[in-house]
Each structure stands twice: as structure tokens, then as C-alpha cells.
Amino acid sequence: MKRNSVLTSIAAAMLLAGCGGGDSTATDSQSGTSNDGIYLDPTMLSVMLVDTTRDKYPVILANYDTSAILVADSAISSSNSLTTKGITAVEGANGTFVYDENIGTTINFANNSASLDIDIPGYSTTVTMEKTADSLQLADIVGTHTNMNDGSTWTVYEDGSFDVNGQCTIGGRLERKSSYFNITWADATQCWNSGFDGTYEYGAIMTVTKDGQSYIAGVIGRSDSMIWGSAPIN
């Protein structure tokens, strides 16, 4: 087993009510749709993954500049839209963690862009993102990548294992899945708050290029907490 190191920006809060999951039977078929892929905000490092073949969590939206995460339990797709149900929303700046199995959002697709209206308790906004290239291949991200802003490091190994060095000790494994890397397992230990320790249920790692710089960006989650972060690819 590869060594573990510690995870980058940790921003999560313990869930006070409700439970994770929701009805995942509404996700699209294993063939996916033409709208599946990675979307990037043109003004900041904010990334959205759409993968309708996932049994759970087909939409993951992560804003690494503002430390905010939105994850959908399930989704039903049509030719030009995706309707989600069950929303987990995390605001890292104040530690807010909201889950509501009845809240959803509609993502509209047109001309390689995605627009979604987010309306959750205490927060409402419209987000427009542009479809971007698939993630780099594993061989292109093997090595250690350092976020100079917080000193965190991401290390990816040739066998698909990875670890990240920040405020928790995180170790995991990834595998290629269409435009991104699915995290097949991830464990956190020695977190600044022991409530974040343990095994995480799901996750994804993507690479995007913004203003000429490529980044590795990831999210891991479970019903009571999330951890996420990013680093420039060295």
C-alpha cells in the first residue's frame, strides 16, 4: 500500500439532520449523454462534473476559489437539460452543510455551455459554465503537485493510488472513467477535527486548464462531511 500524506484545503461541516443518498434510480443509462463531461467557469476556478452514468452523485460542482460545493443525489436527463434531485451544499468559509432530499435544480445545455439556477435555503444564484476538455491521462499527472498558496501537495502514482498533503492524511485510489477519474476509495486520518476521519463514500478527480495553467482538482464526500482541494500541475 502506498504511503498516505495529508489533504490540502479541508472545508466541511458535520451534517446535523437528514441523511445522504436519495433516489439514484433516476440517473441516465450507462451510455451517458452528449452533455456529460467537465464544465469550467470562465472567471474563476470552479468546475462541474456531469456524468449521468453514475449510480449516485451524477453532478458535482466545486468552486475552489470560494470553497463551495454542490452535489446532486440523482438526475433525469433530456436532450437539452438535466433535472437533479437531492442536494448537498457546503460553504467552506462558514462551515455550513445543508442536505435536502427534496431540493433539485435544472441544468440547461446549449452550445457547449451549461447554465443552472441554484436555489437553496439562504443562497440563490445562477451559474453559467463552458464545457472544457477531458482530464489529462494518468501518465500526465503522475508525480507530486504543490499548491504554493497553502503548501499542500498532491502525489499521484502510476498504479492509480494517490495521496494529498494538507490538513488531513488522505489516501485513495482512482480509475479513469470517461472524462475524469473516479475515486474508488478514500480514507482520511489525523484530521484537524476527528469528525472528518474515516472512509469516504464517493469522489472524483479532474484536471482542467485555466489561463494557461493546468490544475488537478478533487472532491471526496459522504453523508456527513466533504473534503476538497486543488493544485497546479507542476
E strand or H helix at 75: strand 68-77
DSSP-derived pairing of the beta strands 46-50 and 113-120: unpaired
Q: Are residues 90 and 152 in the same domain?
A: no
Largest pairwise CA distance in the chain: 45
Helices (H), the chain: 138-141
Query: Please, what is the end-to-end C-alpha distance for the chain in angstroms?
Result: 24
The per-residue pLDDT for 172 is 97
Q: What is the CA radius of gyration of the chain?
A: 16
Q: What is the domain extent for residue 119?
A: 37-132
Q: Which of 120, 34, 22, 39 is nearest to 81 (CA)?
A: 34
The answer to whether residue 216 is domain-embedded is yes
Give the number of domains in the chain. Answer: 2
Q: 24 pLDDT exceeds 60?
A: no
The answer to whether residue 29 is domain-embedded is no
CA-angle at 221, arms to 220 and 227, nearest 5°: 55
Q: Are residues 117 and 49 in the same domain?
A: yes
Q: What is the mean pLDDT of the segment spanning 163-182?
A: 94
- Return the SS3 of 47: strand
The answer to whether residue 23 is domain-embedded is no
Q: Are residues 127 and 140 in the same domain?
A: no
Place 7 in a pLDDT band, splitting at 50, 70 and 90.
very low
Q: Are residues 125 and 139 in the same domain?
A: no
d(CA 40, CA 47): 5
More confident position, 150 or 70: 70
pTM for the full predicted model? 0.86
- Which residue among 132, 149, 178 closes a domain? 132
Task: For residue 66, count other CB atoms closer than 10 A to its CB.
Answer: 13
Task: For residue 77, count other CB atoms closer than 10 A to its CB.
Answer: 23
d(CA 31, CA 59): 16
